[in-house]
Structure 1
């Protein structure tokens, strides 16, 4: 690994980077960057909640072969960046993640407007980035994104706060702190079983809680009016075990028609579609990046990964097959 300073000339701007890049005098982020071939776009990928750059491997391979530039990185609290600064003992606010990404893109001299792709937690970060700086966005590719707090979890935590107030009426802890207390319990009790990867090192489970803590108040669904025209490409896994289809349909309905580009329902895929059906997902993203006009009309599509086909009405698009 090596460190590339953001404060020196970018002599390596056209060369791959795999190492730490300084975004301030105090902070570096781990980066895996493959520059685009001539006249090809660059895709910026934002990790899912329990991800690091590694989990994108199968997804990015076919895109890199086509000459697409790929920027993967580990934000604060994830992957190699987590290991560099562990342990995480403070909340990681969404707005900090957005600002870090903006600074990183400038440090690497990647020109705007950007193509952002985010999975789950990363989709929430991408949506907040786009709402904050819509002029910097070309394509906003949201894969099963976080759009609002999960209703079931939110209701359970609020019921526990209500019970605590009734049982211990003189408890001086704020509702906000109680919420984090019960959220911490949920992460520690359920995530190791649902997402065993949180146990891959001694710091990841607590870091995951700090990331959840930092995004729990975010509501990208409330900021959709700020999104740029023809930018939103929503990808929904039909067998998503974490986010109900209705939640993501509600998000799409909140997006102004002028900002809608495409909505794809991915059949036979669970939440982490870039691992479940990586070739198909990559092929669809490639269609977005190359500017397939059908994907910029605000249309709905049904995707069939094992047939290598996407359908919308009478139209069929042949893409990568699993």
Structure 2
């Protein structure tokens, strides 16, 4: 569970410093048909430009996309950021006046979160297909949205994507998963799933209660720490069975699926990201670009160059041939001919 805690620690970074301006984005709440308001930040496109929808990481604040989205705004792209259910301002709004968020009872899953994104776009009156750019945890929302609504997707870009749950890369997490599966097997097909769920909930709720101390909670949510911890539990549970390698995106027309990976990524996670790219149907596979000196949060680490790369992808730069891997180095973009040499012991 070490990796989970490292990701969660990112949630307090923005809040412990002064929050940056929204970079010209208009922030507001949208009330969806389910009666729950979602926080969104928007900027309309210039004529002829598509809208880029940014799907957050698990605890990623919208302002942290600023280097990326400001560079796109200069090129006239429309922009949409939003806090999905259980995140930051959306969570604060749902939990105001002492209300318990309804999803604590109903639960969350990739399909519900993809349908939420559809609801946000519908409420904004988005016309035509959009460009999805997801970071980390957001990959399971973007992948499911592209599966359910392929006609509403122009391109999809997975930045440092979550391929499988982070427990797969952590010895303690693997031990927990093995124990839970043993419990399910021991109790059989009738009682096994019940005891599996009960044990899963107890283990992870205890973990978050012990490790999500106030310093790791965004400032605007510190007055409701138990609500925040329970939200993180439901969000991580929503993606526990997700596997990006199972998606081939066969319904997308043309080479529209792209990956951006980070040189400072957990090596095993990078290996799985490369595998997920190779599993995309060749006719749908675009480009993979490896940012050699970037850390996991690419919009923070190299946002302006990532935006420039996205512009080249969307304008169909002839150098970016589909089914090809590249590296982004200090010298610029070059072919990544030795990507196959990546092992669990070397992310370069």
TMscore range, shorter length? 0.7 to 0.9
Higher relative contact order (CA 8 A, sep 6+): 2
Name 1:3's counterpart in structure 2. Answer: none
CA distance in 2, matches of 1:165, 1:262: 40
Q: Give the TM-score of the pair, scaled to structure 1.
A: 0.81
RMSD (Å), alpha carbons: 3.0
Name 2:169's counterpart in structure 1. Answer: 152
SS in 1 for 2:326: strand
CA distance in 1, matches of 2:186, 2:151: 51
Q: Give the TM-score of the pair, scaled to structure 2.
A: 0.76
Distance 1:283 1:179, change over 3 A: same
Partner deviation per Cα, 1:268-294 (whole Å, 9 max, x = no partner)? 111111112222222212222223233
CA distance in 2, matches of 1:198, 1:16: 21
User: Within the alignment, does 1:31 sit opposite 2:40 as a pair?
Assistant: yes
Name 1:139's counterpart in structure 2. Answer: 155
Kindly state the Cα deviation for residue 184 of structure 1 after the two structures are TM-superposed. 3.1
Moved more, 285-294 or 58-67: 285-294
SS in 2 for 1:147: coil
Kindly state the Cα deviation for residue 23 of structure 1 after the two structures are TM-superposed. 1.7
CA distance in 1, matches of 2:127, 2:41: 17
User: Within the alignment, does 1:99 sit opposite 2:118 as a pair?
Assistant: no
CA distance in 2, matches of 1:83, 1:44: 22
Which protein has the bigger helix share? 2
**Match among 125, 140, 144 for residue 109 of structure 1:** 125
SS in 1 for 2:319: helix
Name 1:215's counterpart in structure 2. Answer: 239
Kindly state the Cα deviation for residue 72 of structure 1 after the two structures are TM-superposed. 0.6
Partner deviation per Cα, 1:210-241 (whole Å, 9 max, x = no partner)? 11111112223212253513111111111114
Distance 1:243 1:44, change over 3 A: farther
Kindly state the Cα deviation for residue 39 of structure 1 after the two structures are TM-superposed. 1.5
Are the aligned partners of 1:238 and 1:268 in contact in 2 as well (CA < 8 Å)? yes
Number of residue pairs matched by the alignment: 296
SS in 1 for 2:141: helix
Q: How does 1:225-236 map to 2 (within 5 A)?
A: 225-228=249-252, 229-236=254-261
Distance 1:93 1:25, change over 3 A: closer
Distance 1:176 1:294, change over 3 A: farther
Partner deviation per Cα, 1:155-208 (whole Å, 9 max, x = no partner)? 222233367789999x98521332233233444455669x93557622433322
Name 2:81's counterpart in structure 1. Answer: 72
Name 1:122's counterpart in structure 2. Answer: 138
**Match among 44, 61, 65 for residue 52 of structure 1:** 61
Name 2:21's counterpart in structure 1. Answer: none
CA distance in 1, matches of 2:277, 2:30: 35
Are the aligned partners of 1:224 and 1:256 in contact in 2 as well (CA < 8 Å)? yes
